[in-house]
Amino acid sequence: MPDVVEHTAPPLPHVEINQAPLSMVIRNLTVFTIKELSQFIKTNVHVNTNSQEPSSARKINFLQLVIFLRNQFLKLYVLIKWCRTIKGNNFHVLIDLLNWFRTANMTVNNCIWALKNNLITMTNAKLPNADLTTALEVLSLGRPNLPTHNFKMSGEDSSTVLENGALKIPPKLILRRLYDLNLNISIKLSMMDIPPQMKNYRIKDGRVFITVLDEFEIQLATIDSQHPLFFVDLTLLLNNQYLHLNKPRFEKVINDLLHKTEEPLYELYIFLHKYVVTLKLYLIHIELTSLESNGKFFGGNLVHRYDAKKSVITVRYWLNARMGNKGKITIGIDKESNNLVLRWNNEIARGINALPVVYTNILSNIENILDEVMFNHSHLIRAELLSNGIFQEDEENSDVLLFQIPTTCISVAPVQLKIDLISGIFYFKNSTTLLQSYAQQINKSDSIKELTLVLQRLRLDKITYILQNMFEKTGWVCSKVVELEKPIKSHVNTNRSKDNSFNLLQKDIFISLPNWPTHWYLIITVVSSKTSCIIEKRISKILAVKGKWELKYLEDSSVTANLETITYQKIMNLQRTILHKIINHMLIDSLNQLKIKNKICSSSAISSQLPKYVVDDQSIKEGSIFQSTSQKQNSLGYISVIALELTSFLDNSDTAGQIFESSLLLKIDYGKSQIKLFGKFVIDTMMTKFEPENLNINFIKDDPKAFYLDATFMNMNNIVQYLSKFKNNLMQLVSLTDVVERLRKNFESEHFKILNLQPNEVAFKYFEKSTNEPDCTIKIISNDEVIENLQVQLSPSSPQYIIQKFLDDSHMHFHFIFNYLQFTSSLFTSLDLIQNEKKSGLYQNFTKVTVGLHNLNEYQLMYHNPEAGTKISITIELKIVSHNGQKKIQYYVHFSEDNISTKSLAYPLVHKIRQQVFILDKESKDTTLHKNTVRLVNGIACDATSIEAVLLEIHGILKKDSNISDSGTNITAANLDLGATENADTLKIQNQNTITV
């Protein structure tokens, strides 16, 4: 029995790399945990509370971070417990086994992928058909019977005669001729000047193959040593499958160069080299276009310009970055080497030998070159920022810049700034709302100096936010609207040299306490530099004048301190020690804070010059205004009267000067905490009969033109607020009075009456009717100074309600609307009477009357008799009429259709209207039936006072049924007098599409 050979398994390869002691793993995990917690607290705890992210979201993020870190420790704990269960703690064997499994798995996977690639490449391959002949040859001869190319195995020459009697070229002759051609080409090339670039050539099959690396391969041949070379074939070595050469054209040009030039190979190389370089430049242009439209630079981060005439491509990258605007690359032909090169136009990079600025292998490598250029550019900017001293280098990540910003008065935290290599834009890692806003400012910087200034402003804003937060938590109020045009001159700036003045930034914080008088502030001036921060404190008074904040008072001396010394204890002590300084200036500036032209009324002026309704006021009769100066200083229970200029109080309103007297009287009763503003109308206005609601206007009975506004204040700060309220009420009163007076002038009628008066609304009637329903309501749209617009809303019961849609769509001026409503009121009254006559049943017939409106200057009355089938249309137009050299607006009434058949049943009525209304009948006894009218044969012109009589007369004729003829009437076309009257020649009517009043 044969011996059995035992085959033992090969030993497992031992792995010693990528192994670390357990203590090192625990240490690294602990350090990582502390860094993550510290970074989260620094970047989230001191985020501005006004940001859109709620506090609950930050808590959830913190919880997720804690859970993640806990899981890492739990995994490590499970791994330790598992290792202890292994016999002898020999877990190294398991590591080696895991490594062997991974290696075996990788080998199998590689085989699988190799087989898969073979299947992919053999997709179009197929097995040949069964070749029985070749199989029998191999079986019998031991090899396939391959073609002998007319050579016999014995070496004898084969017959040169073909079956058809023709002669064929012997193979030996062909080989001999090819050998001779190779020899001739070799001799010819040895006698010619060959460019160095074309030294790489080989002679084969009667031709020479000349190869220029990465450019082209050309095949040339010749007949004998006496004839020149000629073109055979050309191949471009550009690895581009979409290139198609026009070889017949190349053959003609190359043969001309080879036959007609003294140095044909030199000329041939120059021609082909220029062509290949130009073609490469075009292919680079195509590749750049693809990168810009569909590649990684999609979105406008890269743009290039291809100049085919100059053979230059100019590339600009980092278009959205403004740091020096140096992102420029030029691709063109080098003058010395005549090769295609890419040149990075960066002055700083040219001075550094380690950084390449010129690249040669460009085609099919342009994307990698751009990545390298942008990477080098970002490191240049990073190095320059590090040299400026405001940034620090991150040891763990070389692409990150660290910038220290304060989190409290005594601590700082680093933020990480990076550059996006695609767009060149700076961005902060773990960004907040504040950091995002400053990232936008950093990307707008044109230089390193501006970027440094932006980061200093970031640090200054962070310090400002910390101080504002400390003051607000201790009861102070930080103003966010006060901002001076020029910063307050700081003592720190004056003590520094001019060289360091640029490195100092300053920001003022205006704070106050709730019980302080208005406009008084404690100014906290923060002066920050690269290395330190100083705080200054001064008392001031600031007023808003014409939309600008002006400093009216500033304490001469200031208290300075370093940022590190500011604590909550010192801020609380400041509240108790600063209030007495504010009170010392409160009474002095209480009158000047109004900033309008004023004059304090003396006791003699009050008794002799002030109006009686002001002097007789009960609060003044108490005599407290005549207190001595010492009494006024000891008590606030006194009264003062101040004359205010109307125009300065109402922002130089011209309309107010035409309505009110030039002075207003302001009376302040500090004892009763009451303030009154007296005024008086200079015109007789209908406003005195009303007391508009919500305006707080009180009219005085003894003087109907006088009025006052009053309010009660709780402290002195409210005085300015109520004066602002008085100003708004007066401006509304001015607007309301202006509208009421315009209405009264336009609607001068006994029927005009104001029914309701609101601050922004006036309702009135102007038609004659018994009810007090408004015909029109006007809504006033105004700002603080002038009327912006008036919205006219007609009542549905008004006869003119039909024109409401036209008024809404036309957006006409309210002056025109008022005149239009007044001028057409008589017309619409007549139309309303005509329509209501049929509805009331005053006459019973078949004629129906309808009113139509084409536009605001053309109306139509339609009389329709369905029994007789007749329609008579009367058109009323508004026209500008020139009469005796003057232009005025009149109504022109005529038939819509001039040609009405005499056979129509409506013709007698039409004829009657022409005879009685449109034509002046000489035999008529009453020639003054209608005043202010002009008869025009085909119509009649009249003004607003006569339109009602004219329409009613026409209606009196047409309301009769046309199928019922009047007794004694026999009209024929023969006895009609259609002649013109004398008045028709003296009147000219001008057609216009619009009306101008």
- What is the distance between the alpha carbons of residues 973 and 901, in angstroms, rounded to a whole number? 10
Structure tokens at 182: 């190779």
Backbone angles phi, psi at 579, to 5 degrees: -65, -35
Residue 875: predicted pLDDT: 87
The pTM of this model reads 0.44
Backbone angles phi, psi at 260, to 5 degrees: -110, -5
Residue 785: predicted pLDDT: 54
- What is the distance between the alpha carbons of residues 367 and 294, in angstroms, rounded to a whole number? 13
Residue 981: predicted pLDDT: 33
Q: How far is CA 920 from CA 118, 900, 984, in A?
A: 113, 21, 10
Backbone angles phi, psi at 770, to 5 degrees: -80, -35
DSSP for 273-340?
A: HHHHHHHHHHHHHHHHHHHHHTSTTTTTTEEEEEETTTTEEEEEE-TT--STT--EEEEEE-TTT-SE
Structure tokens at 670: 């500090």
Structure tokens at 935: 């008869």
- What is the distance between the alpha carbons of residues 648 and 644, in angstroms, rounded to a whole number? 8
Q: In 716-776, which residue ranges form alpha helices assigned H by DSSP? A: 718-746
pLDDT digit string, tens, across residues 101-125: 988 999 999 999 988 888 777 766 6
Secondary structure E strands in 39-144 = none
Residue 27: predicted pLDDT: 92
Q: What 3-state DSSP class applies to 549? A: strand
Contact (CB, 8 A) for 207 and 220: yes
Q: Order the strands of the 674-680 sheet from edge to edge.
A: 598-600, 639-645, 663-669, 674-680, 706-712, 698-699
Secondary structure E strands in 175-293 = 201-204, 207-212, 216-221, 230-236
Q: Of the candidates 487, 528, 539, which has an alpha carbon nearest to the alpha carbon of residue 508?
A: 487
pLDDT digit string, tens, across residues 763-814: 888 787 767 778 788 887 776 556 677 788 888 878 878 887 888 777 777 7
Q: Using the structure block, give the residue that is written with the tokens 């970002």.
A: 378
Q: Of the candidates 751, 759, 762, which has an alpha carbon nearest to the alpha carbon of residue 791?
A: 762
Backbone angles phi, psi at 675, to 5 degrees: -130, 135
pLDDT under 50: residue ranges of the chain: 1-2, 4, 494-501, 583-584, 587-588, 591, 619-637, 924-928, 963, 965-997
Residue 601: predicted pLDDT: 67
Residue 970: predicted pLDDT: 37
Question: Own/partner pairs for 504-510, CB < 8 Å, 24+ apart?
Answer: 504/528, 504/529, 505/453, 505/456, 505/457, 505/460, 505/529, 507/460, 507/461, 507/464, 508/484, 509/464, 509/467, 509/468, 509/471, 509/478, 510/478, 510/479, 510/482, 510/542
